[in-house]
Chain A
Amino acid sequence: MNDRKKIEWLLGELPALKEKGILNGESADILHKYYLAIMPPKTNFHQLIIMFFGILSAALIGAGIILIIACNWDDIPRQIRAGMAFIPLIIAAGFGGYTLQSGKGAAWRESAAILTALASSAAIALISQTYQLGGTLKDFLFVWMLLFFLLIYIFNSAGTFLIYAVALTAWSFNQWDMFGYHTFYSDIYFFALFIMLPLWWLIVNFRKAPYGLKSSFLCWIVTIFVLLNSIPLMSAGNEFQDKTYWALIIAVLFLAGAMRRSGGAGFWGNPLLPVGAVCITIYSAIASFSSFWDHSSPYHSPENTIYKECCIWVIIAILAAAWLLLLFKRRHHKIEFIPALLPVLIVIPMVIIPMAGAFVFNLYLLFAGISFMHCGFKKCELFKINAGMFLLSLLLILRFLDSDLNILLRGCLFILLGVMFMIVNIIAAKRFRKAGNEPKENGI
């Protein structure tokens, strides 16, 4: 439930509370006035559609300009071509200036920002083509991102942020040279800088309307691009760094998602939670195999060139995880501590005794499964019961796959698990109804 729905519910309750004498008329009026004033505005779909088409038209115009320029008009003299490169930028500057000056709405702001960003890329590309200056896509994206990131702040533009996130991901994935050698370590500080540049804007937007449409859209972009950018970033490290980083990042994603959910974000407005949960499950399942722990010790590659850089990231991630855990402690969401344990359970065996890692993760999956089931039964939440059963089944299946049991036995196991799921659901639903508690469908 978002803030608006909560307030609407409370306002709907006030007359009944007044009638029953729980609130006197004056208090009810004060509460009504107060909550009406802070209630977030209703999403205006008409405006949203206008904004969407505004963004689309700006993106299409920008892409069209890029393609026209890409044609390479080599019959036109060099100096004239160079001059032509500035035409889209002049138009975009005029459009942007007018938008800011006249204080236009979101559709204008988004369009102006996107058009200016794309016009800037067209100008650099045309000059580069005209003078055969060469250079790589990586260099081009680097300069372009530095040039247009401020547009995100100036126009408060989510569309430009999306372009920025795509450009940053393309830049990160271009960290492999033509022979497949990874070169990220030389640009690691620039990567950190590019992450920081739009951070303040993101924080401001999340604080302004944490569960609004824009925040939900930004949340999707952040989730997808954090995971995507982690791939090239961590392919540069040794196995210890890669595995530690992944454990930290997915635990942080999950905890941030759990925080958003406890604050009132709905499923579609909070991809962090399901993405984090799925990633943690996959990761734990992989870590329950003993082969995962081969060469995982940090002592295996002490000469790795990016060791120091990765340590910085690990420290940042640990601090972020600690901060989130602290917030959780205050809010008393005990069940969310289980996924948060993941990084600790990865690092400790790797540093002390990697051989025991697989055993630890088998125990972890078992503990998580039982805890979720227990919590589900306690709170009458079928989702948590099923999540717990899923984890236990996953553990069983993985260990059976690991063993030398014949195909018949494995088949029987799958049928048994399916029947068990069904029976537990039926029994739980009946019990909850008998006890007068309607089972809740979702619950994490």
Chain B
Amino acid sequence: MNFKILKITLFVIVIIAMFAVPALMISKGEDVLNKGRVYIFKAAPVDPYDYFRGRYVNIRIEKNYVSIPPDATLDFKPDEPVYAGIKTDNEGFAYFDSLSKTVPEDGDYAKVHFSYRDKEKAYLLIPFNQFYMNETLAPEAERVVREALVKRKDSCVIKLRVHNDTAVIEELLINNIPIKEYILSLQKSGQKK
């Protein structure tokens, strides 16, 4: 085969792969947003910048652990991928209730990473911890979220959609209002710092 044709063929394969990966991500994202079940997690924040993906509000899920009996033995290494079962408590907030190396047979779950064990808690590294926002709104969002959590002035929760092993943050809610709308309403009423 001609060397030039081989190069062009390889380039076409690479380009197809480069198109396929984002296309698969879109399909996964649409699938979760259309078919996924909604869970509400309590949150906690910081505000960094991702050079590739832009401004985001870094949110930590408050209950980023699974409660375990003190005598339980855990066979997980740090950063090992694990499946965390999701349940909802009496107040309607979601939490992780179980850990396993294999896909749970029933109920919703999220693919997370095991971090470490501290007595009766198995801490997790949760991949859905960034809520991307408009460049100009993100610093304000961070301020609003921090005030809501530190001063306990308002409620701040994460609306997460879960489908199969994929979870995406659908919205960050302050007093049950999407954060963007909440900031815009604050700006309209002149409460912006």
Q: Which residues of A contact B (CB under 8 A)?
A: 66, 69-75, 82, 85-86, 89, 93, 96-97, 100-101, 103, 116, 119-137, 139-140, 143, 147-148, 150-151, 153-154, 177-179, 181-183, 185-186, 305
Contact = CB atoms under 8 A, between A and B. Distances in A.
Main DSSP-derived SS at the B contact region:
mixed
B116 A133 contact: no
B16 to A, nearest CB: 10
B11 A132 contact: no
A154 B7 contact: yes
Contact of A147 (B17, B51, B80, B125): B17
B115 A70 contact: no
19 contacts: A69-B54, A70-B54, A72-B134, A73-B134, A97-B8, A97-B11, A127-B22, A128-B53, A129-B54, A132-B132, A132-B170, A133-B29, A134-B167, A137-B50, A148-B14, A179-B116, A186-B77, A186-B79, A305-B77
B171 to A, nearest CB: 9
Interface string B3-15: 0100110110111
B78 A70 contact: no
A166 to B, nearest CB: 12
A70 B29 contact: no
Chain B CB count within 10 A is highest, among A71, A121, A129, A130, for: A129
Given A72-B132, A89-B18, 20 more contacts: A72-B55, A72-B133, A86-B19, A89-B19, A96-B11, A101-B8, A116-B14, A121-B52, A123-B21, A124-B25, A128-B25, A131-B25, A131-B28, A132-B130, A134-B128, A134-B168, A147-B14, A148-B18, A179-B116, A182-B78
B182 interface: no
Contacts of A124: 21-22, 25
A100 B22 contact: no
B82 interface: no
Given A70-B53, A131-B25, A150 B10 contact: yes
A130 to B, nearest CB: 7
Interface of B: 4, 7-8, 10-11, 13-15, 17-19, 21-22, 25-26, 28-30, 32-33, 50-56, 77-80, 113, 115-116, 125, 127-135, 138, 166-170, 180
A100 B52 CA distance: 28
